Amino acid sequence: MIETHGLTKHFNGNHAVEDLDLQVKQGEIFAFLGPNGAGKTTTVRMLACLIAPTRGEARVAGYTVGGESDAIRAHIGILTESPGLYEKLSARQNLDFFARLYGLSNSARDDAVKKHLEMLGLWERRDEAVGGFSKGMKQKLAIARALLHDPKVVFLDEPTSALDPEAAKIVRDFIAELKSEGHTIFLCTHNLDEADRLADRIGVMKQRLIQVDTPENLRRKLYGRRVVVRTRAVNDALIAALKTLAFVKSVEREDSRVSIALDDPDAMTPAVVRALVQAGAEIQSVGEEKHSLEEVYLNLVGNHQT
């Protein structure tokens, strides 16, 4: 649904995005991560045909950026960093105005406005002027505006920014619902927990694309897989018992905790537990060690040289 080859943008000699090669599949949630100034927003602006690339090629929803920009704009929705709403108009008037610009018929316009206001919890406030809305309410209204015309691709830049936990959950559930309906979601966020929960794949960006994969695969590439066993006490006999197992790659010992590197914890953990029990271990808990997406992200960005 999104494909780029060598996509590049320079501003007065500064390299904002450099040689971006990227493919985003139809119907997936793709999270685009990176520090401030990494080129995420610039990439979205190029893909949404708001700015022209310096060089390179891109296609969105089957259309070419540059040559078929109007067609792309008709098939995408975009939430930018700034909501950009008309504050003297009501929520319903704002959405009705933008639905007219999208060319929706009267009945389709009314249905779309009501549907999205209800789904984002704003229907009861539909006739109030937007100027009196909180930042979070404006953010939800801007999301509704991006979806009125049922776009194939939705670009969301920090969609839960300024939202309280309850409102953020409504938006996350809404994003998951969009995916279930077949929409492709391109999500820019600094909320790594959100990306971990929502995204099918993530891309880490720092002017250049550093890595693209599922969150779980990135964890395995960087850290491998380890099982952590907590016992009442760890002694040399337990460590020796583990080292007799040919499939154990390494063992790390810390107080009453043993961390064991395994290629396939699901298949190998029962044998590990048996060996420990036979060696006299009083096991308190067993579980696979899971590194946070924050650890993965900081590892990738910190080790990347621009």
Amino acid at 297: Y
Average pLDDT over residues 146-154: 93
- pLDDT tens digit sequence for 163-185: 888 888 888 888 998 999 999 99
| Whole-number Å distance between alpha carbons of 211 and 214 | 10
What's the whole-number average pLDDT of the chain?
92
Tokens, residue 34: 């990176």
Same domain membership, residue 230 and residue 207:
no
Mind spelling out the 3-state secondary structure of the chain?
Answer: CEEEEEEEEEECCEEEEEEEEEEECCCCEEEEECCCCCCHHHHHHHHCCCCCCCEEEEEECCEECCCCHHHHHHHEEEECCCCCCCCCCEHHHHHHHHHHHCCCCHHHHHHHHHHHHHHCCCHHHCCCEHHHCCHHHHHHHHHHHHHCCCCCEEEEECCCCCCCHHHHHHHHHHHHHHHHCCCEEEEECCCHHHHHHHCCEEEEEECEEEEEECHHHHHHHHHCCEEEEEECCCCHHHHHHHHCCCCCCEEEEECCEEEEECCCHHHHHHHHHHHHHHCCCCEEEEEECCCCHHHHHHHHHHCCCC
Task: Provide the pLDDT confidence category of residue 141 given band limits of 50, 70 and 90.
Answer: very high
Same domain membership, residue 185 and residue 94:
yes
Is 250 a domain residue?
yes
Same domain membership, residue 156 and residue 259:
no
| HSE toward the beta carbon, residue 299, CA cutoff 13 A | 13
- Predicted local distance difference test score (pLDDT) of residue 167: 83
What CATH number has the domain bearing residue 250?
3.30.70.100
What CATH number has the domain bearing residue 45?
3.40.50.300
Same domain membership, residue 194 and residue 236:
no
Same domain membership, residue 61 and residue 199:
yes
Same domain membership, residue 246 and residue 205:
no
Query: Cβ distance 182 to 156 under 8 Å?
Result: no
Average pLDDT over residues 33-47: 92
Is 220 a domain residue?
no
Amino acid at 63: Y
- Predicted local distance difference test score (pLDDT) of residue 304: 64
Same domain membership, residue 245 and residue 205:
no
Same domain membership, residue 208 and residue 235:
no
| Whole-number Å distance between alpha carbons of 146 and 142 | 6
Checking if the pLDDT of 305 tops 70, the result is no
Checking if the pLDDT of 162 tops 90, the result is no
Domain count, the chain: 2
Which of 9-23, 92-106, 140-154, 290-304 has the weakest average pLDDT?
A: 290-304
Query: Cβ distance 227 to 260 under 8 Å?
Result: yes
Amino acid at 274: R
At CA 229, angle to CA 224 and CA 235, rounded to 5?
115
- Predicted local distance difference test score (pLDDT) of residue 281: 92
Does 22 or 162 have the greater pLDDT score?
22
Phi, psi torsion values for 255, nearest 5 degrees: 55, -120
Is 268 a domain residue?
yes
Same domain membership, residue 192 and residue 90:
yes
Is 293 a domain residue?
no
Which of 24-28, 87-91, 174-178, 211-215 has the weakest average pLDDT?
A: 174-178
Angle, helices 293-302 vs 215-223, to 10°: value is: 60
Phi, psi torsion values for 38, nearest 5 degrees: -80, -15
- pLDDT tens digit sequence for 231-251: 998 999 999 999 999 999 999
Same domain membership, residue 148 and residue 250:
no
The pTM of this model reads: 0.85
Checking if the pLDDT of 81 tops 80, the result is no
Contacts of 251 (CB under 8 A, 6+ apart): 239, 242, 243, 258, 259, 260, 261
At CA 105, angle to CA 102 and CA 106, rounded to 5?
120
| Whole-number Å distance between alpha carbons of 228 and 82 | 45
- Predicted local distance difference test score (pLDDT) of residue 306: 52
- Predicted local distance difference test score (pLDDT) of residue 170: 85
- pLDDT tens digit sequence for 251-295: 999 888 999 999 999 999 999 999 999 999 999 999 998 888 999
| Whole-number Å distance between alpha carbons of 29 and 174 | 12
Q: Could you tell me what percent of the chain has a pLDDT over 90? A: 71
Contacts of 260 (CB under 8 A, 6+ apart): 226, 227, 228, 229, 242, 248, 250, 251, 252, 272
Checking if the pLDDT of 4 tops 90, the result is yes
Domain that includes residue 8, residue range: 2-214
Is 300 a domain residue?
no
Is 297 a domain residue?
no
Average pLDDT over residues 53-65: 95
Same domain membership, residue 257 and residue 205:
no
- Predicted local distance difference test score (pLDDT) of residue 36: 87
Average pLDDT over residues 5-25: 93
- Predicted local distance difference test score (pLDDT) of residue 302: 82
Indicate the burial class of 121 (C-beta count within 10 angstroms; 0-12, 13-18, 19 or more).
Answer: middle
Same domain membership, residue 232 and residue 205:
no
